[in-house]
Amino acid sequence: MIRPILRLGLALALAFGGVALMAGYWAVVRQADLLERADNPRRLLLERRFPRGTIYDRAGAVLAESRGAPGDYTRYYPYPALAPVLGYVSPQYGTAGVEAAADEALHGDENGEAWTRWWRDALGLPRTGRAVQLTLDLNLQQLADAALGDRAGAVVLLEAETGEILALATHPTFDPNTLDENWESLVADAGAPLLNRATFALYQPGGALQPALLGAALQARLADLDTVYEVEGALALEAGLTLACRQAPNLSALTLQEALRLGCPGPFAELGQRLGALRLEQLFTDLRLLEAPDIGLPTAAAAPDFSDPAALAAGQGSLTITPLHLALVTAALTQRGELPAPILLRAVAGPAGEWQPVPATDHGVAVFAPETAETIKQLLRLGHSAEALSGRAGRRLAWFTGFAPLDDTRFVVTVMLEDGDSAAVRQIGQALLVEAVLTAP
Amino acid sequence: MRAWLLSGAARERFLLGLAGGFVLLAAAALALAPFARADVWDPAVAAWPWGLALTDLGFWAYPVLWLLCATGTQRLVARRLPNHDPYLLPIVFALTGWGLALIWRLAPGFGLRQTAWLVIATGALLAVALLPRDLRWLRRFRYTWLAAGLLLAALTFFIGVNPQGFGPDLWLGAFGVFLQPTEVLKLLLVIFLAAYLADRREQLFPRAGAAPAAPLNPFQRLPYFLPLLTVWGFSMLIVLAQRDLGMGTLYFAAFLVMLYLASGQAAYVAAGGVLLALSGVVGYTLFDVVRIRVDAWLNPWADASGGSFQIVQSLLAFAAGGLFGRGPGLGAPSLVPVAHSDFIFAALAEEWGLAGTLAALGLLAALVFRGLHIALRAHGAFHQLLAAGLAALLGLQALLIAGGVIRVVPLTGVTLPFLSYGGSSLVVSFVIVGLLLKLSADDGPRPL
């Protein structure tokens, strides 16, 4: 009976070895993706014991913090309107927004060895979530939110040179403090309050990109400001829609300069035809409209086809953009053609509480020649208003993008209203620019 | 290094000392865990977050009673069985002490109960190991033992209860003490098989042992198989009627292993494997309880909040443990359902990490190999079959549940020997160790 016993021993040894290997597989190889699963409550349980990092605006105002006593911390958002930007941490619905983008720092993950982390946990040394500083300015943010009010739309206010985002408003919004209670109704809401319209919603640009098109045409020497175009009524679009000039012209022939001011789509459609698909694709690529900006938050970009350059140039083709895209394009025109890279996460608190700047993941690129950019900038002294028709029903969107001050421009704003109120977008944009200039340090 | 030069008894004392140090450290770590969790050194925080006071005398009774059981057993066994295997007791007590720490941490309400079961189990081990006669009494009354076991198990159909108040009625209860007869039956089944196969080996498997005068043809061999198949069939019927998949698989596997050991023919194992797979397929189409388990095994991610909730949470516990674990009392293993019994291996993985997992598996494997070692040195077919069968029984049971919680095999509910909560399981496991101790000390030549 020796042989059967030895063979049984060998079989059992192999089986024990297999179980050991499999345990190692789950504990080491698959560890990271298992722990990231939304049905793993351990991370959030830990945050009830150790506070999650605080989120500050650029001046040190608290935007999100953990309140309570050890064992019973809860997340509190003193300024709920920022919810689509800041996001939430929910044991049931996961994390979103800045809470998700900066989760490693806020939760207090370190790059240390597993051993040091185990030692810290074994000794019960407090693990501290690290604070995070955003580029937002709470004062300007509040103003933007108040200006949008109950309207569906978005506001982006940038520091033109650095690309730092000073205000990022999107409405309708929600209260992250009561997220778990209201989740069902928030998800079902036709107004999509969970959606960040400023960075993640793609809109038809309409005439909003006309300044950039004009710049491209000047640079390609295909046109100059005084090239005359016939205006034959409204521009016919797909599905029987028509887009007319924003302000009716007195004449039937306009220079490009006048067409830009009056928001006439016809001349720009023709210009698009002249530029051609290749140059348009080059322009949109240079302006980085075809890529999602990297600001940590979820962002979006369209992948248009270039078969119809006229429609694309009229802003009614397959190119759609986010309000953040447009703000960056305007910033490029004010910065001698230099397109800035947007920044939202400004700094993370170091071990001793000192602010460590978040290294830039991206850098600016030159899009226009400085003199071209300057020429266009002079045409946009009062900002640029535009209209777009969205969807098959032709819902009217209103855009405004502007900058201040005129010389040494520091601030760029983009406002978009889904109700198409062109007077309101200009008003909101200009009010924000004035406030930004007045309160600028 | 000195330890390996020592005599058997001294080596055993040394290893038991190591086990004792480990168990005491684990208890101390558990006692300090609340302070670590609260991050303050304040006696007012001395309540465990999971609901037990640090000043609970019952908690401190467990290391003390463990120490008394371990040293008492070692002393008595060393005196009466001087040549016994010196590794069994240190391994078994290390695992049991570890199991107690886990149970006190996971389900303090059961801690005192399991501590009491340890005392009872130690008594049972000593009774078996120190009985003055040899094991002939087991062999001679094999049918009596088995009939008693079957009867006890069958009683659960009439007066069965479940200590939890719900779920299958697999227990017999009186005065707040519950016994799971199928746990006892699994031991009696192996004893019966060892005795029967040792007696009838020549007739059953003509080529295996010394050939008798004239080998029997297959038709003549059939009557010798009948008692075997009847007894095994009855046992299988009982556990299957109870819908106890874990015990069913274990009985089946133990039967195959015993047949293989007695015959030396792998064909029995192969045929049995095919049969098991077939019954799995049939069970899958006929019974929901099988289908849920198999689906959860094949694709746990598809229904992670429903049918495969347990297995997914168990895998998360392994991931949360990582290499070195969260530390005793510092993880969240209670997120896995029934962590103190079926899923104690997952709880161990979360708080002690892969290091702890491998240590526990290593101890269990070492115990099995010591059992097989005893089988190799035993005198006579009965003792060989018994030692190897008991060792394999422990090994198979450990592999079945450890493999189940890490998705190597479909999950079936059996206890992890020595670690899981469960009185019947602990007592039966200790009796097995008692028998192995007795078998290891037996060096006189035997008739037969």
Q: Note whether B316 contacts A: Cβ–Cβ < 8 A.
A: yes
Mean pLDDT, chain A, whole residue set: 88
Q: Is residue A410 one of the residues assigned to a domain?
A: yes
Q: Name chain A contacts of B354, Cβ cutoff 8 Å.
A: 23-24, 27-28
User: Least CA distance to A45: which residue of chain B?
Assistant: B332
Q: What percent of chain B has pLDDT over 90?
A: 42
Q: Is B181 helix (H, G, I), strand (E, B) or coil?
A: helix
Q: Note whether B384 contacts A: Cβ–Cβ < 8 A.
A: yes
Select the residue from A118, A120, A125 to test the B interface by mutation, using most B Cβ atoms within 10 A. Answer: A118
Q: Name chain A contacts of B263, Cβ cutoff 8 Å.
A: 4
What distance in Å separates the CA atoms of residue B147 and residue B156, rounded to the nearest whole number?
15
What distance in Å separates the CA atoms of residue A308 and residue A238, rounded to the nearest whole number?
11
ipTM exceeds 0.95, yes or no: no
Q: Name chain A contacts of B376, Cβ cutoff 8 Å.
A: 2, 5-6
Q: Is residue A335 one of the residues assigned to a domain?
A: yes
Q: With left for phi above 0 and alpha for psi between -120 and 50, is residue A394 left, alpha or beta?
A: left
**How confident is the model at residue B297, as a pLDDT?**
87
Q: Is residue A189 one of the residues assigned to a domain?
A: yes
Angle at which helices B309-321 and B344-377 pack, to 10 degrees? Answer: 80
Q: Which residues of chain B have pLDDT under 50?
A: 1, 208-209, 446-448
Residues in CB range of B82: below 8 A, 6 or more apart? B9, B441
Q: With left for phi above 0 and alpha for psi between -120 and 50, is residue B212 left, alpha or beta?
A: beta
Q: Name chain A contacts of B36, Cβ cutoff 8 Å.
A: 121-124
Q: Which residues of chain A have pLDDT under 50?
A: none
What distance in Å separates the CA atoms of residue A369 and residue A365, rounded to the nearest whole number?
11
Question: What Å distances lie between residue B294 and A22, B24, B241, B253, B410, CA to CA?
Answer: 18, 40, 19, 18, 6
Select the residue from A14, A22, A36, A42 to test the B interface by mutation, using most B Cβ atoms within 10 A. Answer: A42
Output the CA torsion sign for B25, B26, B32, B38: positive
Q: What is the pLDDT of residues A375-412, one digit of tens each?
A: 999 999 899 999 898 877 888 999 999 998 998 999 99
Length of chain A: 441
Distance from CA of A73 to the nearest CA of B (A): 13
Distance from CA of B359 to the nearest CA of A (A): 10
User: Least CA distance to B38: which residue of chain A?
Assistant: A70
Secondary structure E strands in B207-256: none
Residue B389 in contact with residue B190, Cβ under 8 Å? yes
**How confident is the model at residue B308, as a pLDDT?**
82
Q: Which domain holds residue A205?
A: 138-439
Contact A41 B399 (CB under 8 A): no
* pTM of model > 0.80: no
Question: What φ, ψ does residue A227 adopt, rounded to 5°?
Answer: -60, 135
- Among B263, B323, B326, whose Cβ lies nearest the Cβ of A121? B326
- Among A1, A26, A115, whose Cβ lies nearest the Cβ of B261? A1
Exposed / middle / buried, residue A112 (Cβ in 10 Å: 0-12, 13-18, 19+): exposed
Q: Is residue A27 one of the residues assigned to a domain?
A: no
Q: Note whether B354 contacts A: Cβ–Cβ < 8 A.
A: yes
What distance in Å separates the CA atoms of residue B56 and residue B31, rounded to the nearest whole number?
10
Q: Name chain B contacts of A114, Cβ cutoff 8 Å.
A: 322-324
Distance from CA of A162 to the nearest CA of B (A): 41
What distance in Å separates the CA atoms of residue A23 and residue A43, rounded to the nearest whole number?
21
- What is the largest distance, in Å, between two alpha-carbon atoms of chain B? 82
Contact B321 A27 (CB under 8 A): yes
**How confident is the model at residue B436, as a pLDDT?**
95
Identify the CA nearest to A89 among candidates A179, A198, A175.
Answer: A179
Indicate which CATH number applies to the domain containing A352.
3.40.710.10
Contact A124 B36 (CB under 8 A): yes
- Among A8, A71, A118, whose Cβ lies nearest the Cβ of B388? A8
Residue B33 in contact with residue B330, Cβ under 8 Å? yes
Contact A27 B318 (CB under 8 A): yes
Distance from CA of B309 to the nearest CA of A (A): 10
**How confident is the model at residue B448, as a pLDDT?**
44
Q: Rounded to an integer, what is the distance from CA A398 to the centroid of its chain?
A: 19
Q: Note whether B368 contacts A: Cβ–Cβ < 8 A.
A: yes
Q: Name chain A contacts of B365, Cβ cutoff 8 Å.
A: 12-13, 16
Residue B257 in contact with residue B392, Cβ under 8 Å? yes
Distance from CA of A24 to the nearest CA of B (A): 6
Q: Name chain A contacts of B257, Cβ cutoff 8 Å.
A: 8
Q: Strand A55-56 to strand A62-67: parallel, antiparallel, or no bridges (unpaired)?
A: antiparallel
Q: Name chain B contacts of A20, Cβ cutoff 8 Å.
A: 357-358, 361
DSSP codes joined into one string, B26-68 = HHHHHHHHHHHHHTS--GGG-B-TTS-BTT-HHHHHHHHHHHH
* Tally of domains within chain A: 1
Paired residues of A357 in beta bridges: A347
Q: With left for phi above 0 and alpha for psi between -120 and 50, is residue A296 left, alpha or beta?
A: left
Q: Is residue A392 one of the residues assigned to a domain?
A: yes
Q: Name chain A contacts of B264, Cβ cutoff 8 Å.
A: 1, 3-4
Contact A8 B260 (CB under 8 A): yes
Q: Is residue A349 one of the residues assigned to a domain?
A: yes
Q: Is residue A108 one of the residues assigned to a domain?
A: no
Identify the CA nearest to B67 among candidates B102, B19, B35, B107.
Answer: B19
User: Least CA distance to B313: which residue of chain A?
Assistant: A40
- Among B261, B330, B375, whose Cβ lies nearest the Cβ of A121? B330
Token pair of B55 as six digits: 């000043």
DSSP codes joined into one string, B86-100 = SSHHHHHHHHHHHHH
Contacts across the A-B interface (CB distance below 8 Å) = 157
Identify the CA nearest to B393 among candidates B257, B235, B268.
Answer: B257
Distance from CA of B40 to the nearest CA of A (A): 9
Q: Note whether B385 contacts A: Cβ–Cβ < 8 A.
A: yes
**How confident is the model at residue A211, as a pLDDT?**
93
Question: CA A155, A161, A166, A170: dihedral to nearest 10 degrees?
Answer: 20
Q: Which helix (H) or strand (E) holds A263?
A: none
Helices (H), A50-137: 83-86, 97-101, 103-107, 114-123
Q: What is the pLDDT of residues A119-140, one digit of tens each?
A: 665 555 666 788 999 999 999 9
What distance in Å separates the CA atoms of residue B396 and residue B378, rounded to the nearest whole number?
21
Q: Is residue A69 one of the residues assigned to a domain?
A: no
